[in-house]
């Protein structure tokens, strides 16, 4: 059994005003019932002034820290003013602001459940407001007032009011000033690391929200960190979690990313020439290089901040004159006490999964489809990992991953592929199959093979030999069987070959080990066919074609991505089709509803709708005609790309003109004969690449005029009559 060395906690973003986190570790000091909410008198600078008819008093709440302030004022709008520090050492070429603890996205104050507000809409408490800053170093600050109608058109204007704060610092300078008392750079870094660890919490506590089931199934995911393994993902979430001011104001709450980030800042402030780089293998460590020497720093906060119910609140904060006093030590003790509150596990687990159930499902080696987590900020996709039994199923090293039932797997009897070739595919160091990788991309990665391994049970007895006066050991083979085991071969650069360096793991505890079998073969008790050569040469690896399936998704796997009952086999699942999209009909294809199986992605089409048809040409008529021509016209078809005009020649239809624009709406047909009926038909078309779609035909019959009668004259005349005559018109039926 191989355990990955991990000292990191669950991934979490560095917290700001609201506090929701996952605890790792336990610290249980006793806490006093008395906690205060104003700076000590000698640390407090009270400056009163009036602007626009209001008075203001600003007090640091946890001096010398520069983050939280109490502003006592009769101004009813805390967003209408702020304070600016124009000379802070923490900001170069720009001012530092102290403003209301306000959620600008939802346009409401940040509220804390351990504060009893006079007005929750404005955040007023004890005749004032909680204000926040991060970059002031104290000293002179200027009151600014806001003008403008909305958040996109705001101007801040200096007033003539200037106030003075005591000297303040951020939490990095506090660490340096408190602990960096040594003479050398790395001695100071070590001292800060030790001191920081002693006061840093992994997270604070908060008011646990209402439980809500967000998905149908429990699932499993990878970790975004290379040095972590897998998570059981819960289908439950919590709505309406609420912050505690005790957590918000405590300046040292850092997880496994925040802690090394602070140490990086410490190093740069101790000496700006220090070089910082994140460790390639451990996400909770940074490497600090100074004058050619490199050392690692990091870790995470202690304690196990948790979600508690509102009835468990031990301290409600008050502010201003007579307000209780906040101290670093007192706040930490309070948070430690919150972390020890007994909270009932309210997660329904009847359909949950366990690491043992996953172990039982994957057997001697299987692919699993799971949620591949690509970012600490929630980026995910569906991926595949390779898991197998790597022990008897009694050891699983896990930890809680939040208050919704999620759990992290650190290691144990559930084996996994990581930076390894297995089943013709490459699984990366984040335990996820990466399609398209070639052997030359990872020529020295491990190789995982299923091998038939002899499991031999035997007994031995020491029998006294009277002739020699010694004891002879007599071996008795009880049983011999073969089992498929996962053998992991690691590259040995000095030998240019791969060796199975965990050979003993392949043999069951109550069976002969690899070395036992070697001995029994030498003694003639076992056949040499039970020996195994756990070595792969480059030629062996070439023959294995370890990347043979690199572009092929496994054709069977167990599903753990929350799309089906956990552990469902792909080959045995029941399709669960849901609508993916509705495809509208076109002139060349029917429309339909596309459904996809949530589990396997297979598709089916339902609810077909007819193809679009191009409307018939309207208004087809004769504009004018002669005895040998006819001018035809029609209305424009706005959906068409052109038209085709046909004429019937007595036995078949013949195309006489193809129009390539729908703006061509007339045509003069010539070469006709007088006094004849000619048949025409017209249809529109629309281009689709090299193909055309046509409308139905519109028909028109055209009768040409007869020839003009000639020779029309008076033949004779009498007193009472005139005789007219003309030439016979062979095209006419009469006159």
Q: How large is the average pLDDT for residues 12-38?
A: 29
The SS3 call for residue 683 is strand
What integer pLDDT is reported at residue 21 of this predicted model?
31
Please write the tens of the pLDDT for every residue from 95-123. 999 999 999 899 999 999 999 999 999 99
Cα 309 to Cα 241: distance, rounded to the nearest angstrom: 10
Helix (H), strand (E) at residue 490: strand 470-492
CA-closest candidate to residue 673, choices 729, 623, 733, 626: 626
CATH of domain 621-703: 2.60.40.10
SS3 content of the chain, % helix, strand, coil (to 5): 15, 40, 50
CA-closest candidate to residue 503, choices 520, 515, 518, 492: 515
Residue 48 reports pLDDT greater than 50: no
Please write the tens of the pLDDT for every residue from 158-174. 999 999 999 999 999 99
Please write the tens of the pLDDT for every residue from 332-385. 999 999 999 999 999 999 999 999 999 999 999 999 999 999 887 778 899 999
Q: With cut-offs at 50, 70 and 90, classify the pLDDT of residue 149.
A: low
Helix (H), strand (E) at residue 143: strand 139-147
Q: What average pLDDT is seen over the chain?
A: 89
The predicted model scores a pTM of 0.74
What the block records as the tokens of 358 is 């996953």
The residue that leads in pLDDT, 152 or 428, is: 428
Please write the tens of the pLDDT for every residue from 643-677. 999 999 999 999 999 999 999 999 999 999 999 99
Residue 599 reports pLDDT greater than 90: no
Residue 10 reports pLDDT greater than 50: no
17-31, 88-102, 702-716: which is most confident: 88-102
Go through 277-292 and write b for each residue having 16 or more CB atoms within 10 A of its CB, e for each that does not: eebeebbbbbbbebee
* Cβ atoms of 324 and 45 closer than 8 Å: no
Contacts of 126 (CB under 8 A, 6+ apart): 70, 72, 118, 318, 319, 320, 323
Q: Where are the domains of the chain?
A: 26-182+193-201+312-342, 447-545, 621-703, 708-735
Helix (H), strand (E) at residue 141: strand 139-147
CA-closest candidate to residue 430, choices 640, 648, 283: 283
Helix (H), strand (E) at residue 259: helix 258-270
What integer pLDDT is reported at residue 11 of this predicted model?
30
Q: With cut-offs at 50, 70 and 90, classify the pLDDT of residue 245.
A: very high
Longest dimension (CA), the chain: 178
Please write the tens of the pLDDT for every residue from 173-228. 999 999 999 999 999 999 999 999 999 999 999 999 899 999 999 999 999 999 99
Please write the tens of the pLDDT for every residue from 498-547. 999 899 889 998 999 999 999 999 999 999 999 999 999 999 999 999 99
What integer pLDDT is reported at residue 151 of this predicted model?
67
Residue 4 reports pLDDT greater than 80: no
What integer pLDDT is reported at residue 709 of this predicted model?
82
What separation in angstroms does the CA of 320 have from each of 117, 127, 180?
A: 13, 8, 34
Go through 607-641 and write b for each residue having 16 or more CB atoms within 10 A of its CB, e for each that does not: eeeeebebeebeebebeebebeebbbebebbeebb
What integer pLDDT is reported at residue 52 of this predicted model?
63
Share of the chain above pLDDT 70, in %: 93
Q: With cut-offs at 50, 70 and 90, classify the pLDDT of residue 51.
A: low
């Amino acid at each position: 059994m191989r355990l990955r060395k991990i000292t990191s906690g669950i991934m979490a973003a560095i917290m700001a005003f609201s506090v929701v986190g996952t605890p790792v570790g336990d610290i249980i000091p006793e806490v006093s019932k008395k906690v205060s909410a104003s700076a000590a008198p000698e640390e407090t600078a009270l400056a009163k002034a009036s602007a626009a008819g209001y008075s203001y008093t600003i007090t640091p709440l946890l001096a010398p820290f520069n983050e939280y302030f109490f502003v006592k004022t009769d101004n009813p709008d805390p967003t209408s003013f702020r304070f600016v520090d124009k000379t802070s050492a923490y900001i170069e070429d720009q001012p530092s602001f102290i403003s209301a603890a306000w959620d600008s996205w939802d346009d409401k104050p940040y509220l804390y459940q351990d504060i009893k507000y006079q007005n929750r809409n404005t955040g007023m408490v004890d005749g004032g407001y909680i204000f926040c800053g991060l970059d002031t170093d104290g000293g002179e600050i200027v009151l600014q007032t806001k003008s403008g109608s909305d958040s996109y058109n705001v101007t801040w204007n200096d007033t003539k009011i200037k106030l003075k704060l005591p000297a303040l610092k951020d939490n990095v300078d506090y660490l340096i000033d408190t602990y960096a008392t040594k003479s050398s750079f790395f001695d100071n870094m070590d001292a800060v690391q030790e001191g920081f660890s002693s006061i840093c919490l992994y997270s604070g506590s908060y008011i646990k929200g209402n439980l809500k089931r967000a998905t149908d199934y429990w699932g499993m995911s990878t970790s975004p960190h290379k040095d972590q393994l897998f998570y059981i993902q819960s289908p439950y979430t919590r709505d309406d979690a609420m912050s505690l001011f005790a957590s918000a104001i405590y300046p040292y709450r850092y997880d496994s990313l925040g802690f090394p980030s602070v140490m990086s800042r410490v190093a740069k402030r101790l000496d700006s020439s220090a070089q910082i780089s994140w460790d390639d293998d451990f996400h909770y460590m940074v490497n600090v290089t100074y004058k050619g020497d490199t050392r690692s720093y990091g870790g995470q906060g202690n304690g196990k901040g948790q979600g508690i119910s509102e009835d468990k609140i031990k301290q409600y904060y008050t502010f201003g004159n007579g307000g209780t006093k906040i101290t670093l030590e007192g706040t930490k003790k309070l948070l430690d006490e919150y972390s020890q509150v007994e909270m009932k596990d309210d997660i329904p687990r009847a359909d949950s999964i366990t690491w043992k159930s996953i172990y039982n499902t994957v057997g001697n080696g299987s692919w699993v489809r799971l949620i591949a987590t690509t970012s600490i900020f929630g980026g995910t996709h569906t991926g595949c990992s390779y898991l197998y039994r790597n022990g008897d199923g009694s050891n699983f090293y896990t930890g809680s991953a939040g208050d919704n039932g999620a759990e992290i797997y650190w290691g144990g009897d559930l084996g996994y592929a990581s930076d390894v070739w297995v089943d013709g595919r490459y699984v990366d160091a984040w335990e996820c199959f990466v399609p398209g990788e070639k052997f030359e991309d990872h020529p020295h990665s491990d190789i995982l093979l299923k091998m038939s391994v002899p499991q031999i049970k035997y007994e031995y007895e020491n029998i006294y030999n009277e002739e020699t006066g010694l004891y002879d050991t007599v071996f008795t083979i009880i049983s011999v069987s073969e089992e498929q085991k996962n053998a992991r071969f690691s590259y040995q650069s000095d030998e240019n070959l791969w060796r199975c360096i965990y050979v003993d793991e392949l043999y069951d505890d109550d069976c002969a080990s690899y070395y036992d079998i070697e001995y029994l073969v030498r003694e003639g008790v076992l056949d040499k066919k039970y020996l195994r050569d756990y070595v792969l040469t480059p030629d062996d690896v070439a023959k294995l074609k370890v990347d043979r399936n690199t572009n092929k998704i496994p054709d069977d796997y167990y599903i753990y991505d929350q799309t089906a009952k956990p552990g469902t086999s792909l080959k045995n699942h029941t399709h669960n089709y849901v609508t993916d999209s509705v495809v509208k009909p076109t002139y060349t294809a029917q429309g339909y509803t596309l459904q996809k199986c949530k589990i396997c992605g297979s598709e089916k089409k339902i609810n077909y709708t007819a193809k679009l048809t191009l409307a018939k040409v309207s208004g087809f008529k004769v504009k004018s005609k002669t005895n040998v021509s006819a001018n035809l016209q029609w209305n424009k078809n706005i959906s068409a790309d052109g038209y085709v005009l046909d004429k019937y020649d007595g036995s078949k239809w013949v195309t006489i003109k193809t129009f390539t624009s729908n703006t061509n709406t007339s045509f003069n047909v010539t070469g006709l004969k007088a006094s004849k009926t000619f048949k025409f038909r017209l249809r529109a078309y629309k281009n689709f690449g090299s193909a055309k779609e046509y409308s139905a035909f519109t028909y028109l019959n055209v009768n040409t005029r007869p020839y003009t009668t000639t020779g029309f004259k008076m033949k004779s005349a009498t007193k009472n009559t005139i005789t007219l005559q003309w030439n016979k018109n062979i095209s006419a039926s009469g006159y």
